[in-house]
Amino acid sequence: MMGLGIAEIGHFTLALAFGTALVMAITPIIGATCPEHNALGDRLMQTGRLAAGLMLGQIALAFTLLTVSFLTSDFSVKLVASHSHSLKPMIYKFAGVWGNHEGSLLLWALILAIFSSAVAWSRRINPRRQAWVLSIQGMIAVAFLLFLLVTSNPFLRLDAAPLDGNGLNPLLQDIGLALHPPMLYLGYVGLSVAFSFAIAALIEGRVDGDWARQARPFILAAWSALTLGIALGSWWAYYELGWGGWWFWDPVENASLMPWLVATALIHSVIVVEKSDTFKTWTVLLAILGFALSLLGTFIVRSGLLTSVHSFASDPARGMVILAMLVVSIGAPLLLFALRGDRLMSQDQSRLISRETALVANNLLLVVATATVLIGTLYPLALEAWNGARISVGAPYYNATFAPMMGLMVVIMAVAPLLAWRMADGRQVMIRMIPALGLVAATILLSLLIIDDFSMAAAATLGLAFWLVGGVVMDLILTAGFHRQDRALAWRRLIGIPLSRWGMNLAHLGTAVFILGAAGASFFEAETIERAFPGDVLTAGNKTYRLESVLPVQGPNYSSTAATISLLDDQGAVIDTIISEIRFYPVSGTTTTEAAIRTRLAGDAYAVLGDGDSESGYTLRLYDKPLVSWIWGGASLMALGGLLAMARGRKGERS
Amino acid sequence: MTRWMRFLPLWIFLAIVVVAYAMLSASSEGTRDTKAIGFSMTNAAVPDLTLPKFEGNGTITLQDYKGKAYAINIFASWCGPCKLEAASIDVMAEKLPVIGINYRDNPEDAALFLEQFGNPYADLARDDDGNYSIQLGVHGLPETFIIAPDGTILHHQQGPVFASDLNGKLGDAIKRALGS
Amino acid sequence: MKRIARVNIITVIMAIMLAISGLSPSLALTPEERLDDPRLEQRARDLSLQLRCLVCQNQSIDDSDAPFAQDMRRLIRRDIEAGKSDDDIIAFLRQRYGDYVLLNPPLTSSTYVLWAAPFVILVLGVGIVFLTRRKQHPQNPSDQENSR
């Protein structure tokens, strides 16, 4: 029988990996506590590095074997039977490997092993610190693999393999949804490395520029991945859920947003540690917090605690176990921080007007914003447990609390790169931001004149975006030296600006792009809901649509009613044709609505077929969504900027 | 950073853990209905509704029932749990009159349902588009109200009526309604 | 009752909450439901965005296709046309469904902590930052940083 033994080998390999993780957790510690240049100590630390590589090989093998089971549709494996189907396209069979609880934990473990190996193979990290970091990573791996093996074994077999699998939910066969978890896990695991670095710092009692330089790439990689992961989730909701919304302050969404906010604070904090002698305790604390929220995100969402308190009613034991694990893995570091944090004292020589202050302010805003999201998410559950009252915390709450904080952050963000370290000339910076201010004023004036339905909120949002753009441009001008005499030299210097600084500006620019996209989607969207017959022409905003036909269509595994809609230009000529469908999948019995979307830089045309018939007409929801793709475009620029910033500047380079 | 400031993150974390623990303990005990929104119309006054009759052109006015104890039961043929509670509603109907409200249903299907599961209702109304039920604070089916002679809702049941309810809070409400 | 802008945004930048002008999209509204008077219709939409669909996951009744959401939307529009104020309608629904129906958590004794927390934490944070810097801050640095 094909596949006989593969699952068992995979299971065995995982068990081996558990043993290797134990070695990786223990030997480096012993090695690091040996006296300096002790041969045994060096050997033990070396063993830690080898263990990391070995563990990677083992987990990679286990993952590969599980993948093979999925790709060959081996339904004797319980996981494959529950979550796959022979009719699934190959790519979604592959994505199905992590599209379930057990498989996603295995993916998490795999990514953990990859990052640990990256730490092990890095030559930049001095051996002692490397040993501590690997050891903590090993402990995390031990915990994860134990949890995996004991409660969530992906390699369980079924006694009688079914003829076919259960997993043919069409909603899950989607590229956005397939990439979303791996991206998020890359982020979470990257934060685990930052966490390990933080613990190492507490144990060593030392945080210095080297520490920051070594930790930075992992933090940037984590942040970029998280940015992309969240953007993917949002984009998926936009095109798949059929109503064009892209953020709902859903507890599950919030669970991924919180680590991202802390990671953003952490990036900026670690940069400060690299450049000057401050923010040390703060950075260590943020690293611990970031990973804590990642754990919260992974486990609590996966276990459904956030969506309903009662989802544990059937298995409170599992919840208690997870809670216990969280208490140990987060409580212990926080205790360590409390006890040994005083060794990381910094000398802060900065004045009130300085880049340090700007970064402190924004870090503070980010952390308070994170706390706000956490409170908004957990409060209804806590209140219910307290006195049974049920309330809802939705977008209105976050618009009132979270949004203003972020707005202020953006204001500071534009100015911060222009401020000098330690002591900045406030007046000079204000003068330099006058062009940006001019840009803002122009934007607000233009929008007053051009846009019909004007609102203060829209103007403020646009203004913020352009304020940020102005700041980015000004920073580039100043760094290249355009404000000095020699223009030719300035152009050369512009090209020569270190990649890491380009990264920062690209990420900040991406934020501005995101803001513009959000503004377009929120304030300038137009909608038309009408009953239409074939031949009818309808407009939404600047877009003109014509319903051409509504016909039944037979797809590969679904039957649908498809509305063919033409997009017309001003003269009535057809620019493009889009199709919106209501699909019925007989195997799973589900009905989905496919929106018709045409994405262009200036905006999206978005059309959704509702119900109706040939006699009474069909309900059509038609939209003009200006700039909406800038939301995800901006996020992509942010992630790209983060990746660029990983590039090493010349040592001592002011950035 | 002074000592107490460094301990602050730990204390905050432990506080959150305690809250989470409380949440978990609360969920592991009790049979809470996940559909319940934690709020009911119990102790409120029953709204003054006039509903169309299920059959024919007449109307049913709740005011006419003032001075008597009665119950209201919201049901539909498409509602699974309604079938489960049919026997309990019969038992209820022996004790006090039950007004049935057929919610967003097809008359033929509803008639079939009543044939199959029995018609215990003293009066039968219909609510074609949910207008009246929403005034009663209904958000899911089935829901049952026990109303005292003075018009106070003594019990608002969200979800099917089981035998245990007849012996529990719902039964007590019936007794109180009849007693007063 | 505060007017709010569209619900479906993570407006990183919304500094002020004001009524938005121009219709915000609803996925679930049918053509027949809409009121003739556009201002009344806009009121209905704004109100709908603040009310939770009780049988859905965190959606407003403006966004949901569920029959119950339709009922509530119709009720709102009937009440608006009958001349009831936003506050009246919200009070009516709150009486029947509790605070759970409001996506904008009301300020009651149960929610003081919820609303106060962000600002309290912000103030605490600023305080801690000041305290920390005061401790770390030695005498004024004598050297001038090069301005850029």
Task: Give the model's confidence band at A192: pLDDT under 50 very low, under 70 low, under 90 confident, else very high.
Answer: very high
- Give SS3 for A363: helix
From B111's Cα to the closest Cα of chain C, the distance in A is 22
- Say if residues A96 and A179 touch (Cβ distance below 8 Å): no
Cβ <8 Å between B37 and C75: no
Query: How far, in Å, CA of B62 to CA of B122, rounded?
Result: 13
- Say if residues A383 and A441 touch (Cβ distance below 8 Å): no
Within 8 A of C39 by CB-CB distance, chain A residues are: none
CA A521 vs. chain centroid, Å, equals: 21
pLDDT of residue A363: 94
Phi, psi of C79, rounded to the nearest 5 degrees: -65, -40
Cβ <8 Å between A250 and C58: yes
Interface confidence (ipTM) of the complex: 0.83
> C58, C71, C113: which to substitute to probe chain B, counting the most B Cβ within 10 Å?
C71
Nearest-10 crossing angle of helices A395-415, A499-523 = 140
pLDDT of residue A645: 93
**Cα-Cα-Cα-Cα dihedral sign, residues A520, A521, A526, A532:** positive
Cβ <8 Å between B137 and C55: no
Query: How far, in Å, CA of B3 to CA of B19, rounded?
Result: 25
Within 8 A of A384 by CB-CB distance, chain B residues are: 23, 26, 38
Within 8 A of C124 by CB-CB distance, chain B residues are: none
Average pLDDT over residues B170-180: 87
Query: How far, in Å, CA of A299 to CA of A255, rounded?
Result: 10
Instruction: Establish if C131 touches chain A: CB-CB under 8 angstroms.
Output: no
Residue A455: is its pLDDT beyond 70? yes
Q: Is A297 exposed, middle or buried (0-12, 13-18, 19+ CB in 10 A)?
A: buried
Residue spans of alpha helices (H) in A296-425: 301-302, 316-340, 355-387, 395-415
- Say if residues A599 and A629 touch (Cβ distance below 8 Å): yes
- Say if residues C131 and B5 touch (Cβ distance below 8 Å): yes
- Say if residues A238 and A622 touch (Cβ distance below 8 Å): no
Average pLDDT over residues A309-334: 73
Task: Give the model's confidence band at C140: pLDDT under 50 very low, under 70 low, under 90 confident, else very high.
Answer: very low
From C57's Cα to the closest Cα of chain A, the distance in A is 8
pLDDT of residue B36: 53
- B170 CB-near residues (< 8 Å, 6+ apart): B144, B146, B155, B157, B161
Q: What would the two tokens of residue C87 be?
A: 């506050």
Within 8 A of A342 by CB-CB distance, chain B residues are: 1, 3, 6
Residue C147: is its pLDDT beyond 70? no
Residue A449: is its pLDDT beyond 70? yes
Cβ <8 Å between C148 and A351: no
Mean of the per-residue pLDDT values of chain A:
87
Instruction: Establish if A428 touches chain C: CB-CB under 8 angstroms.
Output: yes
Phi, psi of B158, rounded to the nearest 5 degrees: -105, 115
Q: What would the two tokens of residue A13 be?
A: 């390999």
Residue C143: is its pLDDT beyond 60? no
Reported as a single tens digit per residue, the pLDDT across A97-145 is 998 888 989 999 999 999 999 999 988 888 889 999 999 999 999 999 9
Mean of the per-residue pLDDT values of chain B:
85
Measuring CA to CA, which residue among A548, A550, A551 is closest to residue A567?
A548
Instruction: Establish if C146 touches chain A: CB-CB under 8 angstroms.
Output: yes
- B96 CB-near residues (< 8 Å, 6+ apart): B68, B69, B70, B71, B146, B174, B177, B178
Query: How far, in Å, CA of A114 to CA of B117, rounded?
Result: 62
Average pLDDT over residues B12-29: 76
Out of B37, B131, B136, closest to residue C75 by CB? B131
For C78, nearest residue in chain B (alpha carbons): B131
For A417, nearest residue in chain C (alpha carbons): C148
Give, in order, the Cα–Cα distances in Å from A563 to each of A530, A549, A609, B34: 14, 6, 7, 38
Task: Give the model's confidence band at C20: pLDDT under 50 very low, under 70 low, under 90 confident, else very high.
Answer: very low
Q: Which of A439-453, A490-504, A562-576 has the highest mean pLDDT?
A: A562-576
pLDDT of residue A628: 94
Average pLDDT over residues A453-460: 79
Is domain B50-179 classified as CATH 3.30.910.20? no
Counting Cα atoms < 13 Å in the Cβ hemisphere of A412 gives 20
From C80's Cα to the closest Cα of chain A, the distance in A is 21
Domain ranges of chain B: 1-30, 50-179
Average pLDDT over residues A284-297: 92
Cβ <8 Å between A335 and B10: yes
SS3 string, chain C, reads CCCCCCCCCCCCCCCCCCCCCCCCCCCCCCHHHCCCCHHHHHHHHHHHHCEECCCCCCCECCCCCCHHHHHHHHHHHHHHHCCCCHHHHHHHHHHHHCHHHECCCCCCCCCHHHHHHHHHHHHHHHHHHHHHHHHHCCCCCCCCCCCC
Average pLDDT over residues A410-437: 89
Out of B44, B104, B130, closest to residue C95 by CB? B44
pLDDT of residue A1: 43
Task: Give the model's confidence band at A25: pLDDT under 50 very low, under 70 low, under 90 confident, else very high.
Answer: very high
pLDDT of residue C138: 52
Reported as a single tens digit per residue, the pLDDT across A336-390 is 999 988 887 777 777 888 888 899 999 999 999 999 999 998 888 778 777 777 8
Out of A351, A391, A523, closest to residue C105 by CB? A391
Q: Tell me the whole-structure pTM to 2 decimals.
A: 0.85
Query: How far, in Å, CA of A127 to CA of A37, rounded?
Result: 11
pLDDT of residue C65: 66
- A78-92, A214-228, C129-143, range with the lowest pLDDT: C129-143
Cβ <8 Å between C125 and A420: no
From A375's Cα to the closest Cα of chain B, the distance in A is 10
Cβ <8 Å between C148 and A405: no
Residue A470: is its pLDDT beyond 80? yes
- Say if residues A625 and A520 touch (Cβ distance below 8 Å): yes
Cβ <8 Å between A396 and C50: yes
**Cα-Cα-Cα-Cα dihedral sign, residues A640, A642, A645, A648:** negative
Within 8 A of C54 by CB-CB distance, chain B residues are: 37, 139-140
Instruction: Establish if C139 touches chain A: CB-CB under 8 angstroms.
Output: no
CA A474 vs. chain centroid, Å, equals: 29
Task: Give the model's confidence band at B124: pLDDT under 50 very low, under 70 low, under 90 confident, else very high.
Answer: very high
Cβ <8 Å between C31 and A460: no
Measuring CA to CA, which residue among B152, B143, B135, B147 is closest to residue B44?
B152
Count Cβ neighbours within 10 Å for each residue of A252-262 and write b for 16 or more, e otherwise. bbbbbbbbbbb
Within 8 A of B106 by CB-CB distance, chain C residues are: none
Within 8 A of B38 by CB-CB distance, chain A residues are: 384, 388-390
Instruction: Establish if C110 touches chain A: CB-CB under 8 angstroms.
Output: yes
Cβ <8 Å between C71 and B140: no
Cβ <8 Å between C97 and B39: yes
Measuring CA to CA, which residue among A483, A473, A490, A487 is closest to residue A439?
A473
Share of residues in chain A with pLDDT > 90 (%): 48
From C96's Cα to the closest Cα of chain B, the distance in A is 5
| Single-letter amino acid code for the residue at A602 | A
3-state helix vs strand vs coil in chain B, percent to 5:
45, 20, 35
- Say if residues A467 and A505 touch (Cβ distance below 8 Å): no
- Say if residues B118 and B86 touch (Cβ distance below 8 Å): yes
Within 8 A of A320 by CB-CB distance, chain B residues are: 24
Within 8 A of C12 by CB-CB distance, chain A residues are: 403, 406-407, 410, 511, 514-515, 518
Task: Give the model's confidence band at A252: pLDDT under 50 very low, under 70 low, under 90 confident, else very high.
Answer: confident
- Say if residues A1 and A76 touch (Cβ distance below 8 Å): yes
- Give SS3 for A544: strand
Query: How far, in Å, CA of B165 to CA of B157, rounded?
Result: 9
Task: Give the model's confidence band at A402: pLDDT under 50 very low, under 70 low, under 90 confident, else very high.
Answer: very high
Out of B6, B13, B38, closest to residue A341 by CB? B6
Torsion of CA A169, A170, A173, A176, to 10 degrees: -110
Q: Tokens 């599980």 identify what position?
A: A66
> B3, B28, B139: which to substitute to probe chain A, counting the most A Cβ within 10 Å?
B28
Within 8 A of A313 by CB-CB distance, chain B residues are: 27-28, 32
Instruction: Establish if C133 touches chain A: CB-CB under 8 angstroms.
Output: yes
Average pLDDT over residues B78-87: 86
Reported as a single tens digit per residue, the pLDDT across C40-92 is 887 888 888 888 888 776 777 877 767 778 788 888 888 888 888 888 899 88
For C89, nearest residue in chain B (alpha carbons): B135
